[in-house]
Amino acid sequence: MKLLKATLFTALFATAGLAQADLIANVPLDVSRFEVMDINELTGRANQGNDHAQFYLAKRYQKGEGVAKNSLKAIEWYTRAAKQNVTPAQLNLGIMYARGEGVAVNEQQARYWLERAAKRGDNRASYTLALIDEKQRKLVDAYKWYELAARDGMLNDEVRTKARGKIGQLALNLSSSDVATARNQADSWFQSK
C-alpha cells in the first residue's frame, strides 16, 4: 500500500511539474555560484551553516549531480536548509516526504513542510497541497489551496494559471456554500502568516 501511495504521489507531482523546486526567489544574485561550486567547497560551506549551500548540496544529492545520488543525505541537507526558512528546501522536503523518497511516506511531515513553504508565499507548495487534498477527495480543502496558489504575488505564474483552471473545475463539484467556505479559509489562512 505504501509503495502504491508513493508511486501515485510521484506520478501526481511529475505531471503537475512539481518534481523539484529551485532556489529562485528572494536570494542574492551570487547564489548561482553554489550550483557550479566544487563539491568539497560546497560541503564545507554547508557544514558551516550556509543555508544556500545546504540547499544546493541537498539538490545535488537528490539528483546525483557531481556526487552519488543519495536521498537520505538530500533529506538531511534539505532539512537543515528548511529549518533556516529556505522556502524551496521546505517545498522539496515536503514533496520527498509525500513521495517516500529517502524516507517512509509521511503525510504529516509532508504537510508540515509544504505549509511552511506556502506561508512564505511559494504557490508551488499551495498547489501541491491542493493536489494531495484533491486526490483524497477533500475538495473544499483542495479549493482553498488552489485559491491560495492562484493569488497575485505568489511565486510562479505557470502554477498560478494551473491553479485557476483547477478552481474552475472544482467549483463544478462544490456548492456555493462550499466555495465560500474555502475562500474564507484561504483568506484567514493567508492573513495568519
pLDDT digits (tens, 9 = 90+) for 30-47: 556 888 888 999 999 999
72 in the same domain as 105: yes
105 in the same domain as 59: yes
169 in the same domain as 128: yes
Which cell numbers in the block locate residue 186?
A: 484561504
In a domain, 4, yes or no: no
Domain that residue 37 falls in: 31-117
The amino acid that residue 62 corresponds to is Q
108 in the same domain as 38: yes
In a domain, 165, yes or no: yes
In a domain, 13, yes or no: no
In a domain, 21, yes or no: no
In a domain, 8, yes or no: no
113 in the same domain as 52: yes
The amino acid that residue 147 corresponds to is E
**Do the Cβ atoms of 114 and 125 come closer than 8 Å?**
yes
Average pLDDT, the chain: 82
Model pLDDT, residue 27: 44
pTM above 0.85, yes or no: no
**Do the Cβ atoms of 60 and 23 come closer than 8 Å?**
no
105 in the same domain as 85: yes
110 in the same domain as 43: yes
pLDDT per residue as tens digits for the range 11-33:
444 444 444 554 443 444 455 68
| Residue 7 pLDDT level (bands cut at 50, 70, 90) | very low
Model pLDDT, residue 155: 67
Q: Could you give phi then psi for residue 67, rounded to 5 degrees?
A: -145, 165
Q: Which of 58, 88, 117 is the last residue of a domain?
A: 117
Q: Please give the share of the chain, as a percent, with pLDDT higher than 90.
A: 51
105 in the same domain as 36: yes
> CA-CA-CA-CA torsion for 51, 52, 54, 57, nearest 10 degrees?
180
110 in the same domain as 58: yes
The amino acid that residue 43 corresponds to is T
Q: How many domains does the chain have?
A: 2
135 in the same domain as 104: no
pLDDT per residue as tens digits for the range 142-190:
999 999 888 766 667 788 888 888 888 888 888 888 888 888 888 887 5
pLDDT per residue as tens digits for the range 104-143:
999 999 999 999 999 888 889 999 999 999 999 999 999 9
> CA-CA-CA-CA torsion for 116, 110, 48, 28, nearest 10 degrees?
-50
